[in-house]
Amino acid sequence: MTRSKLTEDRLRRWYRLVQPAMTDFDCGQLCAPDNDGVPACCDEEWTVPLLFREEYKYHRQRSRFWRRYPRRTPEQRAEANEFDSRHDWACLCSGPAKCERNKRALVCYLYPFMPLVNGKGKVLGMTFIHGEASKCPLIDRPGWTPPTDYVRGSIAYWEEVFEIFPDEQAVFVDLSRKARRRYRRLGRPVPLFTGEPR
């Protein structure tokens, strides 16, 4: 990867794409009361935010809200190395009590969704994440559908990410296969949000 691929202008564009509101209510109020007052998406026990390296530097130039995942002990270094990639760093924020919308990372706006792609990496739409990080009460919530502008912006975001970082595309080809297998075992179709009217 060359440093020029992810410019500040592109980062700003990506933030504009993912900023349409996902809900018309404070979804943190659904899960925080049963989780010691911490929303699922902010719970460091289950989720470790990954920021593009350029994104992290962008935020650090403006505030100290984000910091790198601790690497003081051998255990912490092993955990950080497990999350870090060529493009991303595992990070921690100052916590939900100090959260301001303009300091959120891209991953904060995208949770609890991921792109569902076909075997060639084409984005078919958005679906829910799964695994240990899937504690969000919006996942499989009956009758709830994310707004069209949010879905369309998220799809456009991931299409651009895959153009710049093809290895990220390969990751989601694998994750999409796992999602299909998971819902097949459940006897249900994979939830798919395309941004098209239903």
141 pLDDT band, cuts 50/70/90, is: confident
Q: Helices (H) and strands (E) in the chain — how many of each?
A: 7, 5
Q: Is the pLDDT of residue 84 over 50?
A: yes
**Cis previous bond, 137, omega within 30:** no
Confidence (pLDDT) at 178: 95
**53: Cβ contacts below 8 Å, ≥ 6 apart:** 87, 88, 89
For the chain, domain boundaries? 3-186
Q: How many CA atoms lie within 13 A of 45 on its CB side?
A: 6
- Confidence (pTM): 0.90
pLDDT digits (tens, 9 = 90+) for 87-138: 999 999 998 888 888 899 999 999 999 999 999 999 999 999 987 566 788 8
DSSP H or E run through 25 = none
List the one residue out of 42, 20, 21, 23 whose CA is nearest residue 31. Answer: 42
